[in-house]
Amino acid sequence: MTPIEVTAVIFGFLCVYFTIKENIWCWPTGLVQVFLYIFIFFDAKLYSDVILHIIYVAMQFYGWYFWLHGGKMRKEAVVTQLPRPWLIGTVMISVAATVLLGYFMANRTDASLPYADAFTTVFSLVAQWLLSRKILESWHFWIAVDCVAIGVYYAKDLHLTAGLYVAFLIMAIAGLLRWKKSANLLQNDLPIVELEPAT
């Protein structure tokens, strides 16, 4: 446990808390978190996670902008849902990408836990993209990521980070339920996401 990990954990918790609340502060707090974890994961030789968090930096800015201006008439975005064929296709592509990245990391680098690390990387990237677009299914991906990440980070002696992901798992379930309620999903009123670029 290091001061940088403690700081990253605090900002990570704040990021997810604000995300559940659909509060725009999730993006600046998330930006601090992902920047710090670039260094933490490099030191732990979790190279797929390093790549992921470098991409996250750019995605934080995108999500920040989209949440503010990605809705109709460039107003704030609302929670939407993926069409089922898109969801199935997204899962299949994510699994294939996990296998390919895990194989590469296992055979071309000294990466630790290459396939588990690849899973958390690929599925987190997809989850983050969906979250940036304020799509409900992002929480399903985060729940899967959190379950695997807890074991990965505990195995790498990142115990505080593993504990954070236990909290993330609980918060992801809470986020899913809150976003469903927010969008009136239980009354079948949730809009289907428009897959064309935002205007």
The pLDDT, as a whole number, for residue 187 is: 47
Q: Please write the tens of the pLDDT for every residue from 67-100.
A: 998 866 677 888 888 899 999 999 999 999 999 9
Pairwise pLDDT comparison (137 vs 194), residue with the higher score: 137
The pLDDT, as a whole number, for residue 115 is: 93
Q: Please write the tens of the pLDDT for every residue from 12-52.
A: 989 999 999 999 999 999 999 999 999 998 998 888 788 88
Task: Give 150-153's long-range contacts (Cβ < 8 A, gap of 24+).
Answer: 151/116, 152/46, 152/113, 152/116, 152/117, 152/120
End-to-end CA distance of the chain: 44
The pLDDT, as a whole number, for residue 35 is: 95
Nearest to 4 by CA among 42, 37, 43: 37
Q: Please write the tens of the pLDDT for every residue from 119-136.
A: 998 999 999 999 999 999
Nearest to 69 by CA among 8, 132, 120: 132
Name residue, tokens 């396939």. Answer: 115
Rounded CA-CA distance 99/39 in Å is 25
Rounded CA-CA distance 65/88 in Å is 27
Q: Please write the tens of the pLDDT for every residue from 169-199.
A: 999 999 999 998 877 654 455 555 555 554 4
Predicted TM-score (pTM) of this structure: 0.82
Sequence ranges of the domains in the chain: 3-72+80-187
HSE toward the beta carbon, residue 91, CA cutoff 13 A: 12
